[in-house]
Every structure is written in C-alpha cells, then in structure tokens.
Amino acid sequence: MKAPVFYTYSIQVKNDRNHVVFSFKDDNGKRKLKWYSTGLPEKCTKKALKGKVAEITQIFLDAYNSGELTKVAKPKVDKSIASETILKGGSADISSKQRFVDFLPHWLNTAKPTVAGSTYNSYLLNSNKVIAYFNEKYPDILLSEVNGLIIQQFYNDLYNRGLSANTVKHYHALLHRAFKYAIKMDILSSNPTEKTERPKLSRYAATYYNEKELEELFKAFQGDRMELVVYIAAYYGLRRSEICGLKWDAIDFDKKTITVCRKIVSKFDNGKEEIVCQDELKTEASKRTLPLIPKIEKMLRERMFLEVHYSRLLKKGYNHDYDGFVCRDNLGELITPSYVTDHFKHIIDKNNMKHLRFHDLRHSCASLLLANNIPMKAIQEWLGHSTYTVTANFYSHLDYQSKIESAETIARVLGGGDSE
C-alpha cells in the first residue's frame, strides 16, 4: 500500500457535463491530472453531485493505491517510421537503391536540428502521411524511381480527398526539401518535385468578429479559465503560442508595457508530446513591446492575486512546475496551445456563435484597427509582422476607407466630385 496521498480535486465542466479532476504526482514526481465524468449535467443538485464526488473519489484512491495511476509509461515506438535504425541516423546505408519510405525518415532525422520545433512537428506529421501513402501505393519503390509523375499523382490524390492548395503546398515543401538533401549528398542528380505543377495558392480572406460579436465572445468566456487568453488575443492580436508563452517578467506594471518575447510550442518525441518554451519567435519583428492597456492590466493584476491565493490554499496540491507563466488555471496548470484551440471551439459551438478559429481573433484585432483609421504600418508593428507587405496582403481588402479617401482626393484635384 502507498503512503497517504496528497491530492486535490476540482469540479470542471466539459461538454456540458460535470467532471471531477484530480491533481497528483506520479512516481517520477511529475504532476498529472485524472478526469472522471460524473455523468451529471452542468446544472444538477448539490446533493447528487456530492454523492457522485464521494463515489468517484473512492475509485480514484483505489486506482492510485494500486499504482495504476502513478506508474510511468514506457515511451511508445512510432510504428509509422519504417526503420528505427535509419530514423536515429544509425548505420544504415543511404543510396539511390534505398526504398523511398526508408529514405524519408533518415532525411527527417537529419533535418531535425536545422529547423524550428514547430516546423519539425509539421514535417513529422506530414512525412508519416507520405510514408503511409507510399506504403499503400508504391511500397517497394526505390528513391531513384520516384519521378515527377508519381509525385504529381500524390498531389492529385490529395486534391481529390478535398485538401486545399495551401495544405498540398506543405507536402510539396516537405518533399522538395527531402529530395534537395538527396541531391546535396550526391544520391540523386535532379529533384522530381520540380517537374510537377506546384500548388497554386488562393489568397486568404481573413475571417473576423466585429465589435458587437467580440462583446458577445467576452460574455461567453466570462469566468472561464481562458478568459484572459481571449482578451489578450482580441486586444493585442497575439498569436496563440505567444500568449501561452507570456511570463510575468514580460509585464512591467511601472512602465505600463507588455513585451512579447517567448512562445510555447508542442514538441513530439517518439510519439510523446512535450511542452517547450522558446525565446525564438516566428520572426525578429515578432519581438515587440506594446503599451499595457488598462483593461488588460486590471485582468493581469487579478490573475496575479488569484495565483498567490490558490497557491496558498492548495499548498502541495498546486502545480509549481509552471511558475512564472501568466496563463495558468487555478490549479497552476499551464494553458497549452492545443487546449486553447479545442476549448475555444467548444465555447463557440456551445454558444451558437459564428465559427471562427482562435487565430482569427488576431485578424479581428487588425480589422478593428483598420476600421478606426490606424495606418497599415502601425498595424504591422502591433501584430509583429516581418514586413509591411505581409500585413498589406492580409488586410488591404479591409482598408476600404483609404479607397474612399483616394477617390475624394482625385475628385478634388481633377474635379467631378459632385454628382449631377
């Protein structure tokens, strides 16, 4: 039997049902959460909920004392990678006579140290899908036998499955870089992706909420663990990873500034997700210091107070692993990028609001600035875009006011401003 366990629990609502969430540590001392559904709706009697909590607590204690919850799982081997020896850069030979599905994992392992974590995650996800496709269609095809026609057929099949040109572009970028590496290593003499019809990208039309819709959104998130996250996204247009990466040392209450200088990304190793904080942002322009808006300052101070309050109240039950980060819940757990995406969609659907991605709050911020005659250059700096062109490409179609001003100017100069 284990020694008496220090744990805490809270009642959380998920998919309109009450859940009991236990916070405890595994055998390695790492904080873990265990969710149990009560089966009861969000609005139920206190008596019914109390009875279920007592019942579930006993189930939790039985599982804990048996060691089922605290044992540390062995890392899972990703079976979609064709050869572990190749993936780990082992002794396997690389040649044009190697199977294509064996070459791709080797290249991926070679590229890993040279790209950002988020880029590697994208490469890993897409390469596994490429390998699955070729294992089905061309399982024994050699690296030297992959030609433009085969790659083009792969693209066509992606289109036929309903994938967008933007998505196909990511596969093209992956394959182009892999074959470029083969040429660099003198394995191939030409790149078959250059003999394909490259995906033609459609211009992205940003979706956004107007002022009234944002007010409805704020009401929907009132009291929610993600309330501060949503406000920061709407007021500042920060990216999801930038919000999750905010630390208290980036908030200067004396100088009234907030500095964007970190991000949180999910890193996958052997199929296991790991949350990583990085000081390197998307571009150098992404690092920016902005004025602290009074509404956000008030919410940040309230968050700081609650952090101290719950840390003292829960004591050992409070997770101190993420001390220093701004966006945490009352148990001390970090609000992760994946949670932001999933929970945002859940709240939007629950309140029957217009469908919007969390990232579109960034576009909503830009649209409001444009509507209030803020220059495009200032918006570029506010959002942290690398160039003016990036901002203009995204939002020039929203800047109708400048077109009106242009029309009035040319009419004033050349005449013909009054309709007859």
Domains of the chain: 8-65 (no CATH), 84-195 (1.10.150.130), 211-400 (1.10.443.10)
111, 92 Cβ separation under 8 angstroms:
no
Q: What pLDDT, on a 0 to 100 scale, did the predictor assign at position 93? A: 55
Write out the two tokens for 160. 């036929």
Q: What CA–CA distance (Å, rounded) separates 202 from 87?
A: 35
Question: Where does residue 330 rank: exposed (0-12), middle (13-18), buried (19+ CB within 10 A)?
Answer: middle
Coil, strand, or helix at residue 257? strand
Those residues with Cβ within 8 angstroms of residue 160's Cβ, 6 or more apart along the chain or in another chain: none
243, 234 Cβ separation under 8 angstroms:
no
Q: What pLDDT, on a 0 to 100 scale, did the predictor assign at position 63? A: 77
Those residues with Cβ within 8 angstroms of residue 395's Cβ, 6 or more apart along the chain or in another chain: 206, 363, 366, 367, 370, 376, 379
Does residue 400 carry a pLDDT above 80?
no
Does residue 85 carry a pLDDT above 60?
no
Q: What CA–CA distance (Å, rounded) separates 90 from 96?
A: 17
Coil, strand, or helix at residue 121? helix
Does residue 274 carry a pLDDT above 70?
yes
Q: What CA–CA distance (Å, rounded) separates 105 from 86?
A: 7
Please report which confidence band the pLDDT of residue 354 belongs to, taking 50, 70 and 90 as the band edges: very high
**What proportion of the chain, given as a percentage, has pLDDT over 70?**
81
Burial 49-67 (b: 16+ CB within 10 A, else e): eeebbeebeeebbeebeee
Q: What pLDDT, on a 0 to 100 scale, did the predictor assign at position 2? A: 43
Q: What is the mean pLDDT of residues 21-37?
A: 81
Q: What is the mean pLDDT of residues 76-82?
A: 41
- What is the Cα 182 distance to its own chain's centre? 31
81 or 221, which is more confident: 221
DSSP line for 161-188? TT--HHHHHHHHHHHHHHHHHHHHTTS-
| Best CA proximity match to 189, nearest among 311, 68, 282, 96 | 96
Which uninterrupted H or E stretch holds 252?
strand 251-252
Note the residue count of the chain: 420
Tell me how far CA of residue 262 lies from CA of 273, 339, 413, in angstroms: 19, 18, 49
| Average pLDDT for the chain | 82
Q: What pLDDT, on a 0 to 100 scale, did the predictor assign at position 79? A: 38
Q: What pLDDT, on a 0 to 100 scale, did the predictor assign at position 12? A: 83
CA dihedral 79, 85, 87, 92 (to 10 degrees): -130
Q: Which of 96-105, 173-182, 198-207, 292-301 bottoms out in mean pLDDT, i.e. has the lowest?
A: 198-207
Q: Which of 71-85, 109-123, 153-167, 318-332 bottoms out in mean pLDDT, i.e. has the lowest?
A: 71-85
